[in-house]
Amino acid sequence: MVFWMVFWVWATFGFLADDVFKPLQQVRSALMWTLDATMVVMALAVVRRKAWLLGIAAFVALTWVVTCVINRESTLFWVNGMREFVGLLLVYPVMLFIMDDDTSRSHFLDSFDRQGLYFLIVQALCIVIQLAMYGAGDLVGGGFGHFYSGQVSVAIYLVSFLLIRRRIDYDHFLYSLGQNKVYIILLLPTFLNETKVSFVMLVLYFLLLVPVDRKLLLRWAVVMPLVAIVAWLAVTVYSYTTRNNLEGNRFGSTQELMAYFMLDDIEKAEGDARWNIENNRGIADVPRLTKLMYLAVLNQQEPGHVLAGFGVGHFKGGTQIVASQFARDYDWLLMGSVPYVFHIYIQLGLLGLLLLQLYWVALALYRPQWASARDEGLQLMLLAVVLIIYFYNDMLRNLAFCMIFFTLLAASWRPPRHVTAPSASPSSAPSCRPPCHSSAVATKS
């Protein structure tokens, strides 16, 4: 399938180029253009619903007006910037096409069972190798490559969550978890790369794995010892791998914790960042909340952009396409960890933030024709991830991450119960009932 080809190239190229064969970095830009173009062609080939086509066309027109007419950037600059929205806008309609009938949907989910397990194993191997090479930190980004540590960690949790949720037998809950323990074990590499978000994801993982029904307290009594063991292992692994890493161990007090998220003096943000650029190999990672707080200062320095932003493309460029003047002036602010609300506001202002909220609402309300019910636990997990992304980083720019995220969203709609359970596998539970989904034969894409 073209879908999986695009996914695997994106999900492994970073590791190959950064850690295995560095000359591959020379083709990174061309390859990423090709993958984005492939996803666009795939969407154009399969999306036929007028609502999707009109929505995408309206967004494309709006971003062109904001970028090229209002902010007077070039059309090529705008095209390059639009690549950041390929995953967000196009992956889900492609997924809906793939899952539009029982046979295609079942085959794809069967395929995801295999590909997802391979993904977890590959990421674990890449993370262990990077840990041995660099120690715990931002360079341990798994197959995604350097500086993707947070993104690969969240992706691992999402893949594992769907795989185990499709196999859980809630009538034999503890036994079922034991049968599928491989998916829990493969979460541990997320604590080798110094990402604090892994602890949040671990809590969400087990919290939402248990369904809310009359047996909730009983199941929690059963699962809590397992949660305690996994949490203890996670803390132990994290502490061991970051013991010599000042970045990973600077949480000895509330004051130090707050310093991780926000500077004491917003007005010193630029000076501190530029000093870091000059003395820290070009890296200036302004704390996330500081970036959000600095928007008030930016609005005073660059008036007239609150409503529609500065246009799309300022977070790209500098390799094949020249970076914008705005990006050069504020490179210290745009680089590093970028909360997604910051990413959207800079490019499309308050209008972009409003459209983003409307987009999520539309996705939540739109029920595919083949769906009979929601998988509430899976959709709550995705909602929690969206809220985390808003203030954590901009992983929705990552095409491979979007392919994972929107696969889970499509799979969160339950088909009628007449379809069969997933195929047997060494890690499958002996039986399965909703929220488990279907599996069968044939393909559509």
The residue type found at 345 is: Y
Range ranked top by mean pLDDT from 162-176, 376-390, 406-420: 376-390
The pLDDT value recorded for residue 175 is: 85
Mean of the pLDDT values across residues 123-133?
Answer: 96
The residues pairing with 413 across neighbouring beta strands, listed in sequence order, are 374
Residue matched to tokens 């609502």: 51
pLDDT band at 434 (very low <50, low <70, confident <90, very high): very low
Residue matched to tokens 């590093």: 336
Percent of the chain residues topping a pLDDT of 70: 85
Q: Is the pLDDT of residue 195 over 50?
A: yes
Residue matched to tokens 């709550």: 380
| Burial state string for 316-329 with b = 16 or more CB within 10 A and e = fewer than 16 | bbeeebebbebbee
pTM, two decimal places: 0.88
The pLDDT value recorded for residue 186 is: 96
Q: Is the pLDDT of residue 256 over 70?
A: no
The pLDDT value recorded for residue 220 is: 75
Q: Is the pLDDT of residue 306 over 70?
A: yes
Q: Is the pLDDT of residue 310 over 90?
A: yes
The tens digit of pLDDT for each residue in 19-29 reads: 999 999 999 99
The pLDDT value recorded for residue 278 is: 73
Output the CA–CA distances (angstroms, integers) from residue 7 to 47, 185, 400, in the order listed.
19, 23, 5
Range ranked top by mean pLDDT from 191-195, 391-395, 430-434: 391-395
Q: Is the pLDDT of residue 342 over 70?
A: yes
Q: Which of 128, 186, 196, 132 is nearest to 159 (CA)?
A: 186
What gap in Å lies between CA 95 and CA 91, rounded to an integer? 6
pLDDT band at 280 (very low <50, low <70, confident <90, very high): low
Q: Which of 315, 399, 320, 397 is nearest to 9 (CA)?
A: 399
Residue 133 neighbours by CB distance under 10 Å: 11
CB 180 within 8 A of CB 427: yes
The tens digit of pLDDT for each residue in 47-88 reads: 988 999 999 999 999 999 999 999 999 999 999 999 999 999
Q: Is the pLDDT of residue 421 over 70?
A: no
Q: Is the pLDDT of residue 336 over 90?
A: no
Q: Is the pLDDT of residue 282 over 50?
A: yes
Residue 336 neighbours by CB distance under 10 Å: 18
Q: Is the pLDDT of residue 254 over 60?
A: no
What gap in Å lies between CA 66 and CA 349, rounded to an integer? 10
How confident is the prediction for the chain on average, in pLDDT?
Answer: 86
